[in-house]
Amino acid sequence: MIGTGTRRVLLAAAGCLLLASCGAAKTSTAPPGANPAGTSSAASSAAIPAAANPAATTTAATPAATAAAAEAGGSGMTACGLVTEQDASTALGRPAGRGTAGGSSALSECIYDGGALIVSMKTDGKALYDKSRAQAKAKGVPDVPGIGDSAFKAGTDKFCTLLFIKGTTLVSVLFGGTGAQDAAVAVAKTAAAKL
């Protein structure tokens, strides 16, 4: 079994395939103690490129941040609403537990099973998506048909990053575990259907 810290670092590495460089994170919303590998959550999250994971600039979950994140979807939709505990459990093949919500007025984030599944949502993300997709296409990253208006993914069958856009809402799905590519696609389709 891979430790949570290792899982996050490997998910981050898969995300880096999408862009030429990685962005830095301010903080992580990972639950305290959910990092048995000893890698700091901030260091693990920092390796996830900001454009591949718009949640890389989130703040810790507080009542104010959670309330602001609830407004991020316009209609009140949050990342934890896009991918529910039941959706995450189905994708992971085991109980995922309640998602750890976080975010800001600009985005929403939900972390399941200590980072095995991380979903981020940014409502004004069209320009960011277009830039990320152009960089990914330059590296030969394929599109994924049938998800939102446009989608692409990178990674392996153990760690996958998938980004999609629907309207102006950018959603990032990071999945770590067996069957990661198929699971990331299934999670993204579930999320896209709710937007």
Q: 145-162, pLDDT tens digit by residue? A: 999 999 999 999 999 999
Q: What secondary structure does DSSP assign to the chain, as a single string?
A: ---HHHHHHHHHHHHHTTSSSPPP-S---PPTT--TT---HHHHHHTS-TTT-GGGG-----HHHHHHHHHHTSSS--HHHHS-HHHHHHHHTS---S-EEEE-SSEEEEEEGGGTEEEEEETT-HHHHHHHHHHHHHTTPPB-TTSSSEEEEEE-SSEEEEEEEETTEEEEEEEESTTHHHHHHHHHHHHHHH-
What pLDDT, on a 0 to 100 scale, did the predictor assign at position 20?
A: 29
Look at strands 159-166 and 107-112 and give their pairing. unpaired
Q: Tell me, what's the pLDDT at 75? A: 54
Domains identified in the chain, total number: 1
pLDDT at 103: 81
- In a structure prediction context, what are the per-residue pLDDT tens digits for the chain, which is 195 residues long? 444 443 443 344 334 333 322 232 323 333 333 332 322 232 233 223 333 443 333 333 434 333 443 444 445 789 999 999 999 999 999 999 999 998 886 889 999 999 999 999 999 999 999 999 999 999 999 999 999 999 999 999 999 999 999 999 999 999 999 999 999 999 999 999 999
pLDDT of residue 64: 38
CA distance 62 to 138: 39
pTM score above 0.75: no
Domain span at 53: 4-194
For residue 185, count CB atoms less than 10 angstroms from its CB and return exposed for 0-12, middle for 13-18, buried for 19 or more. Answer: buried
